[in-house]
Structure 1
Amino acid sequence: MNVSEALKILKDHGYKYTRKRELFLELFASERRYLTAREVLEYLKPTFSGLSFDTIYRNLSVFTELGILEETELDGEKRFRYSCMMPGHHHHMICLTCGKTSAVKACPMNDIESDDFQITDHKFEIYGYCKECH
């Protein structure tokens, strides 16, 4: 996903273009890692001095609902990144130091069967350290 695609999704769902949203999306486009709301706020604060966490969280929520961003939780804090555009079902390894991600095509759900539970979705993430951070 890139900024233009994300802005088109917003427009298609009735959201207005704002410079704030564009800069917000540019930050995610420039990073290959999950970002916290605080990191987004720190990035935008020099340009938008009155920006609040409410505005950040509201936009993160909208972007996630529209499939622009995906979220995970690490160390008790929600983190966000552009939705992965890799085709097909897969999961991710996430570096605990720098937050970079890489795709894993294997899925442990392939080995799980249940007659008394209807599985509607799942999430599987592997945490560790990338080659550069190890």
Structure 2
Amino acid sequence: MNTTKALHILKDNGYKHTKQRKKLLHLLQLYDQYLSVKQIWTDFQEDFPGASYDTVYRNLYTLSELGIIESTQLNGEKHFRFHCDTHGHHHHFICTDCGKTSPIDICPMDDVRGMLPEHQIENHTFEVYGKCPRCH
């Protein structure tokens, strides 16, 4: 995913192209890793000092609902990054120090479905946390 594609998705879903949304998308593309709302908000305030934390948070959730970005829980806090659309369905290893991610191209859901034959699974998450080689 990139900023241009994201802006097209926003427009196709009736959202206006604003400087604030463009800045959020730019930050997500720039870092290319999971970022906390606080990290994003801190950088966002450099260009928009009057912006509230809630405004950034709401926009991130809108981007998430549209499939532009994905989220995860890290240390009890929501983190966001651009949606990976180059690997198909996959999961991530997430470095707990620097936030960099590495794709995991397997999914445990086939095994889980076999263990729960009469259950209807609606969604799932699977992430592995630890230290990347650079931080280890």
Q: Which TM bucket (shorter chain)? A: over 0.9
Q: Which residue of 1 aligns with 2:53?
A: 53
From the two aligned structures, give the one with the greater helix fraction: 2
Aligned to 1:132: 134
Poorly superposed stretches of 4+, deviation over 4 Å: none
| Structure 1 portions without partners, runs of 5+ | none
Equivalent position SS for 2:78: strand
- Give the match for residue 28 of structure 2: 28
Distance in 1 (alpha carbons) for counterparts of 2:6 and 2:109: 30
* Contiguous gaps of at least 5 residues in structure 2: none
Between 1:75-84 and 1:38-47, the stretch displaced more is 38-47
CA deviation profile, 1:38-90 (whole Å, cap 9, x unmatched): 11111111211111011011101100000011000011100000001123221
Q: TM-score, normalised by structure 2?
A: 0.94
CA-atom RMSD in angstroms: 1.0
* Aligned mates of 1:90, 1:13 — CA distance in 2: 26
Matched position secondary structure for 1:46: helix
Shift of 1:10: 0.5
Identity of aligned residues (%): 49
Mark the CA change 1:43 to 1:120 in structure 2 (over 3 Å): closer, same or farther: same
Which amino acid letter does the alignment assign opposite residue 54 of structure 1?
D
Matched residue, 2:39: 39
Q: Given the alignment of the two structures, is residue 119 of structure 1 paired with residue 121 of structure 2, yes or no?
A: yes
